Amino acid sequence: IRPITTHWIAGQSQHTSLFQTDELCKNRHVSKRRGGSLTKLAYYSTVQHKVAKVRSFDHSAKVKGDPLYEISVQEEITARLHFIKFENAYIETCLDFIKDHLVNTETKVIKATGGGFKDLVDKEDEMTCLIKGCNFVLKNIPHEAFVYAKHADSEFRFQNTHPDIFPYLLINIGSGVSIVKVEAEDKFERIGGSSIGGGTFWGLGALLTKTKRFDELLQLASKGQHTNVDMLVKDIYGGAYGSLGLTGDLIASSFGKSATTDKEFSKEDMAKSLLHMISNDIGQLACLYAKLHNLTRVYFGGFFIRGHPVTMHTITYSINFFTKGEVQALFLRHEGYLGAIGAFLKGAEEDNPNQYSWGENYAGSSGLMSVSPELNPVQRARSGTFDMLEMDRLERQLVNLPLLQDPTSYIPDTVELTEDALAREYWLYCFEEALDGVVKRAIASQKDQPVAVERAEKFRQKYRHKLQTLRHQPFAYGSLTVRSLLDTREHCLNEFNFPDPYSKIKQKENDMALKYYLKVVKSVEELSWEQRQFTLAKGLLAGNVFDWGAKAVSDVLESDPEFGFEQAKQQLQERPWLVDAYNQWIERLKGPPHKCALFFVDNSGIDIILGVFPFIRELLIRGTEVVLASNSGPALNDVTNSELQILTERIAAMDPVIHTALKEDRLALVQNGSSSPCLDLSRLDKVLATVVRERGTDLVIIEGMGRAIHTNYYAMLSCESLKLAVIKNSWLAERLGGKIFSVVFKYEVPSKAQG
């Protein structure tokens, strides 16, 4: 456990936490809760971490040779939610944890759901907490929901969360079954249920097999053959019953053979038959209620599910059968935390945590583990005793880009690595290979701190462990993509107080590029219109070569300090480019100017100063307003909003076109709400979305490999778009049919705009 400064949300600076036990262990004494039951602990803390800040110098007093701006590392406090699961066999550990970390003031409130702690704590309404928790994870964790496909290459198929999560059906399978229709944040209704649920499976299973542990019962079921116990359609009719559309392998009677056969049945076969019987009953009930209320989103939760492949498979099969594939059974990565999250949020209502956006901290979360007993017993034992989810409060409220053509079908990432084994192996290898360089860069950014080496080594161990986990369990954090690998690395760097390892490199490159800005602009102005447009486009692409996140480039930049703008232009692929819509773009430029262009910028230095600014300068001269969207926080050598403010101020002092555009508010700088080298257009700063809407944006420009290739390559927008990048990875270039430094110049017009 990392040292934390605690500051509880709920009520007059009270320390508020909760712990929750699974429904099935109600009315038992604490010390006796064993077997399948869990305790969940939730708490809020404020975490101190270092943040790199940039501040402009007073340029009137600037001495020649001084850097453009100063960099300082400051302490910042952010809010973090922690959710921990313990097996009740380890309840003493849980109570010690509470004593050591939570109960350290005289004022304390402990909240719980379920009945196990009724003498110790304030009790919250269980169903309300469950729904609040479900709403929270669906809104704040992309790819929270998944479909389970047992025999597919990827068992877990993560779903894109609909921007509007309501309405949905939640089937909570505890001792019995509750079926809840959720229509809004605080509007839900229990519309049905059944007494035949998880408790039935456990109770009857114990009677049939003499097995008392829930997990052991599931293990037996996973090895059994239900056809030895169940009577099938073909056992009655000799084959299929065609006129009724019943296949021969369909169960006609659960446990039907036990009434007509004298032989002993194995524990495994009886457990499997029982599991099918309960699951089919629940599946049919769920389908009937979904049809009755016209709902297509059906989530399953409760201790009966708890990520067990064998129960997820039987529920999935049942839903597919009864709806003929029209409704999918959806499961949740953090299903086991829902009640704890909800009870915590309920206790913190006066601070209104729902007004913020939250993001999963990959560095502190243990991820979704496979609990299949036969798959990975060591991993299962570890995750079973102590499982953690951490959520960080984000500074900005995040919303969809208003220009997404269909937000419900938008998928940011180009390749899903859980479904592409070859790509997955390559990128995991790639990130492992790059680890030494990242550690070296982190230490170099804090040369004056003797403990930096020790912290960098801890970062290396943590990130390498994450990569090893993902190699064995690609689904651990939802969709596995190049973006998630990059974001996990950034989270781990921040965890060990390396907020901006590239800050000094960015400072140096920005200083250098500014010296050449006027020369580049002057040389462009002397060209004819057609030549000028091509030179600006080529300059934008050449600037994008300067990406320290690409190993092929960082190796060149470290070995050849003289490598500059002109050399980068020479590296570019000659036309025709790998993706080449330049001719269509030029034809469009011969028409009327765009009203407003939104430009998602990429790297510091040559990229932003000598590539982007001359390009947007031409747009401004044409009469197009420009919004430059940059990262809110640092990632690799990407320019941040605070750095861009200073750079723009310096460029405006040299260039009357930029100066006038700023003064007349035709050039705006807005942060995008992200600290990632990639771009998720469904999680952008709300202020940016407002600016885009108010200015009538009709052109979106996305630049760079991270933002336009790894993400958004297939993104469909409701206005014109340019996606520009230089492929700086030879493996990826070959996969796309090109070579290293191949160019993507993708100009897209939505079909209705073409008509």
pLDDT at 124: 56
Q: Which of 112-116, 142-146, 160-164, 703-707 has the lowest mean pLDDT?
A: 112-116
pLDDT at 90: 64
Confidence category of residue 3, pLDDT binned at 50, 70, 90 = very low
pLDDT at 704: 96
Domains 405-496 and 517-748 share a fold: no
Q: Tens of pLDDT along 540-595?
A: 999 888 776 666 666 666 666 666 788 888 889 999 999 999 999 999 999 999 99
Q: Which two tokens stand for residue 429?
A: 């290898």
Rounded Cα distance between 646 and 648, Å, is 5
Confidence category of residue 162, pLDDT binned at 50, 70, 90 = confident
Mean pLDDT, range 380-391, rounded to an integer: 61
| 514 has a pLDDT exceeding 60 | yes
Angle, CA 244 vertex, CA 239 and CA 245 arms, to 5°: 70
Q: Would you say 76 and 60 are in contact if contact means Cβ atoms under 8 Å apart?
A: no
Q: Which CATH architecture has domain 405-496?
A: Up-down Bundle (1.20)
Per-chain mean pLDDT for the chain: 84
pLDDT at 34: 31
Beta strands in 507-586 (DSSP E): 579-580
Q: Is the dihedral of CA 526, 529, 531, 532 positive or negative?
A: positive
Q: Would you say 228 and 269 are in contact if contact means Cβ atoms under 8 Å apart?
A: yes
| 673 has a pLDDT exceeding 50 | yes
Q: Would you say 479 and 141 are in contact if contact means Cβ atoms under 8 Å apart?
A: no
pLDDT at 173: 94
Q: Which two tokens stand for residue 48?
A: 């101190």
SS (H, E, C) 317-382: HHHHHHHCCCCEEEEECCHHHHHHHHHHHHHCHHHCHHHCCEEECCCCCCCCCCCCCCCCHHHHHH
Q: Which of 104-108, 257-261, 492-496 has the lowest mean pLDDT?
A: 104-108
Rounded Cα distance between 435 and 441, Å, is 10
Name, in order, each residue with C-beta under 8 angstroms of 661's C-beta and a sequence gap of 6 or more: 620, 626, 667
Rounded Cα distance between 352 and 343, Å, is 13
Among 242, 34, 17, CA closest to 120: 17
Rounded Cα distance between 90 and 558, Å, is 51
Mean pLDDT, range 88-98, rounded to an integer: 64
Mean pLDDT, range 74-87, rounded to an integer: 79
Q: Which of 133-137, 426-430, 458-462, 475-479 has the lowest mean pLDDT?
A: 475-479
The CATH superfamily holding the domain 146-229+265-332 is: ATPase, nucleotide binding domain (3.30.420.40)
What proportion of the chain, given as a percentage, has pLDDT over 90? 61
Confidence category of residue 82, pLDDT binned at 50, 70, 90 = confident
Among 748, 729, 749, 747, CA closest to 739: 729
What proportion of the chain, given as a percentage, has pLDDT over 70? 82
Q: Tens of pLDDT along 675-697?
A: 999 999 999 999 999 999 999 99
pLDDT at 654: 96
CA R_g for the chain? 29
pLDDT at 183: 97
pLDDT at 712: 98
Q: Domain residues of the chain, as ranges?
A: 7-124+338-393, 146-229+265-332, 405-496, 517-748
Mean pLDDT, range 492-501, rounded to an integer: 92
Q: Which of 105-119, 157-171, 662-676 has the lowest mean pLDDT?
A: 105-119
Give the orientation angle of helix 656-663 with respect to helix 641-654, to 10 degrees: 120
Q: Tens of pLDDT along 182-216?
A: 999 989 999 999 999 999 999 999 999 999 888 89
DSSP 8-class letter at 41: E
| 753 has a pLDDT exceeding 80 | no
pLDDT at 596: 98
CA distances from 538 to 257, 524, 541, 542 (A): 75, 11, 5, 6
pLDDT at 378: 34
Q: Tens of pLDDT along 368-379?
A: 754 433 333 333
Give the orientation angle of helix 452-472 with respect to helix 482-495, to 10 degrees: 150
* Identity of the amino acid at 305: I
Rounded Cα distance between 544 and 524, Å, is 18
Mean pLDDT, range 717-734, rounded to an integer: 95
pLDDT at 64: 54
DSSP 8-class letter at 640: B
Angle, CA 477 vertex, CA 435 and CA 708 arms, to 5°: 70
Residues paired with residue 748 on neighbouring β-strands, in sequence order: 721
pLDDT at 13: 24
Higher pLDDT, 541 or 100: 541
CATH of domain 517-748: 3.40.50.10880
First to last CA, the chain: 59
**Can you give the pTM of this predicted structure?**
0.86
